[in-house]
């Protein structure tokens, strides 16, 4: 989910009605055929992975490293350097874990 404040792509889905979003509640949409970018709240890990598997979706998922999910990978994972400021928000100090 994104908003007009934090979206990283032209087309995005928001949690609440947003005049710039293409839809509301991404879990109600079909993901197959889309090339998605997802950087979700960690609490949404299970529903996001379930949606990817159920819809046969392909895209970029930014998440904590869980070796259990290696079978979902279609390429080598990109592991960024360990820099605290990588997980920062415009209006917060850091990403809520």
pLDDT digits (tens, 9 = 90+) for 36-83: 888 877 788 889 889 998 999 998 888 777 676 777 787 887 777 766
Domain that residue 7 falls in: 1-96
β-strand partners of 45: none
Give the residue-averaged pLDDT of 21-25. Answer: 92
Place 24 in a pLDDT band, splitting at 50, 70 and 90. very high
pTM of the model: 0.67
User: Is 86 or 60 the better-scoring residue by pLDDT?
Assistant: 60
Number of domains in the chain: 1
Length of the chain: 97
* Dihedral sign, Cα of residue 51, residue 7, residue 34, residue 20: positive
């Amino acid at each position: 989910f994104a908003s007009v404040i934090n979206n990283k792509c032209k087309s995005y889905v928001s949690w609440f009605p947003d005049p710039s979003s293409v839809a509301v509640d991404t879990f109600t949409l079909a993901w197959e055929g889309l090339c998605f970018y997802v950087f979700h709240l960690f609490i949404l890990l299970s529903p996001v992975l379930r949606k990817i598997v159920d819809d046969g979706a392909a895209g970029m998922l930014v998440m904590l490293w869980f070796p259990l999910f290696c079978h979902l990978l279609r390429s080598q994972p990109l592991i960024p350097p360990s820099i605290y400021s990588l997980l920062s928000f415009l209006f917060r100090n850091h990403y809520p874990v």
